[in-house]
């Protein structure tokens, strides 16, 4: 869980006075399994990003990796139609910025993915990742799932409802399907008056109500800071 640090009183007070309590900051909910194994050293290993899957299974996010694809579920009103594509692009871009030489181009991955025969009643996110990894000669595969991606209602300075985004990213070893790293981002943006303890994020995110895409990009950048490069 991300540790919350109190902003200096004079800084919070200044921000609130200058912006009349209309500024916005949200607190991301970042999770990593305490029991997950030591991270591998990924120096030359090739990594592929699987197109994001919509939905999840059960209350434990790890259950999602082992359930049949047909059992992934979500509320239709909770997802925009292209949120899976947007998140896939953001993760691919973040990976390429850090591992340009070993990140497999997404065009190559997408072509292989489209040709894989899938059985939604038998295949799970892990078996799908393994099959794709073998097709593109990737030693590791990033699997993402998204179950909430609600757009804000209103503009950047005032909203009726804020953006809300929840997704997870998992690193799977192709050879044996072992989960070696994972991270979850879940946030519904809140006003500064609701949460004065995250003033730093207020500045980082432009002092405004974010769109769902902007919040998602922020979330990807945050979780990928801990990726085992």
Q: Is the pTM of this model over 0.85?
A: no
How many Cβ atoms sit within 10 Å of the Cβ of residue 84? 20
Measured between alpha carbons, how far is 14 from 58 in angstroms, rounded to an integer? 44
Measured between alpha carbons, how far is 145 from 90 in angstroms, rounded to an integer? 13
Residue holding tokens 């692009």?
89
Nearest to 184 by CA among 96, 103, 63: 63
Length of the chain as a residue count: 229
Contact (CB, 8 A) for 72 and 126: no
- Domains and their CATH numbers in the chain: 9-224 (3.40.50.10610)
- β-pairing, 140-150 vs 47-49, is parallel
Predicted local confidence at residue 30, as pLDDT: 56
3-class SS at 193? coil
- The DSSP line for 135-178 is HTT-SEEEEEEEEEEEPPEE-SS-EEE--EEEEEEEEEETTT--
| pLDDT, averaged in runs of 10, over the chain (229 residues) | 43 37 42 50 86 92 93 94 98 93 96 95 97 97 97 86 95 96 92 61 73 96 90
Contact (CB, 8 A) for 107 and 162: no
Measured between alpha carbons, how far is 72 from 78 in angstroms, rounded to an integer? 14
As a 3-state breakdown, the chain gives helix, strand, coil percent values, each rounded to 5, of 35, 20, 45
- What lies within 8 Å, CB to CB, of 195 at 6+ separation is 25, 26, 27
């Amino acid at each position: 869980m991300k540790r919350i640090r109190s902003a200096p009183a004079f800084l919070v007070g200044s921000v609130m006075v200058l912006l009349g309590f209309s500024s916005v900051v949200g607190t991301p909910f970042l999770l990593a399994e305490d029991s997950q194994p030591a991270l591998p050293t990924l120096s030359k290993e090739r990594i592929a990003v699987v197109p994001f899957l919509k939905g999840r299974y059960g209350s434990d996010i790890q259950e999602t990796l082992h359930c049949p694809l047909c059992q992934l579920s979500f509320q239709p009103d909770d997802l925009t139609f292209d949120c899976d594509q947007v998140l896939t692009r953001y993760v691919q871009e973040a990976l390429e910025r850090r591992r340009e030489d070993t990140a497999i181009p997404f065009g190559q991955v997408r072509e292989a993915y489209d040709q894989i025969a899938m059985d939604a009643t038998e295949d799970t996110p892990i078996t799908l990742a393994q099959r794709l990894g073998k097709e593109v000669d990737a030693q590791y595969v990033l699997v993402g799932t998204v179950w909430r991606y609600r757009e804000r209602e209103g503009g950047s300075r005032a909203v009726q409802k804020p953006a809300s985004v929840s997704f997870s990213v998992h690193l799977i070893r192709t050879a044996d399907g072992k989960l070696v790293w994972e991270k979850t981002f879940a946030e519904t943006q809140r006003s500064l008056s609701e949460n004065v303890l995250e003033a730093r994020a207020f500045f980082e995110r432009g002092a405004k109500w974010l769109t769902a895409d902007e919040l998602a990009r922020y979330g990807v950048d945050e979780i990928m800071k801990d990726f085992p490069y």
